[in-house]
């Protein structure tokens, strides 16, 4: 029994603590690199917003060409499609 307890203690002492071996490497950027990263993120967000607005505009434009009952049906279909996404 004492031998078994010693094994448990020895096993526990041999387990490495994974949090002590965290890689502490830090990346540094120049001013130009930071500005380039900011610009690319801004461009990505603006492009996404423009695409979303263009899609909304196209839907409104297509609905404006329809008469009353067709427009209501198309609006319901669009609403269902939006909810499914």
> What pTM was computed for the model?
0.53
The pLDDT value given to residue 75: 86
Q: Which pLDDT belongs to residue 31?
A: 94
Binned at pLDDT 50, 70 and 90, residue 53 comes out as very high
How many CB atoms are located within 10 Å of the residue 75 CB?
Answer: 13
| Matching residue, tokens 């009952």 | 69
In terms of pLDDT, which residue wins out, 14 or 69? 69
pLDDT band at 23, cuts 50/70/90?
A: low
Q: CA nearest 11: which of 3, 21, 1, 22? A: 3
Q: What does each C-alpha distance from 80 to 13, 30, 62, 76 come to in angstroms?
A: 60, 48, 17, 6
């Amino acid at each position: 029994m004492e031998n078994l307890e010693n094994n448990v203690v020895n096993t526990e002492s041999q387990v490495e603590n994974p949090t002590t071996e965290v890689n502490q490497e830090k990346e540094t950027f120049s001013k130009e690199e930071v500005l380039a990263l900011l610009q690319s993120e801004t461009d990505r967000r603006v492009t996404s917003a423009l695409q979303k607005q263009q899609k909304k505009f196209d839907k409104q434009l297509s609905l404006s060409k329809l008469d009353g009952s067709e427009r209501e049906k198309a609006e319901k279909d669009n609403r269902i499609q939006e909810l499914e996404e």
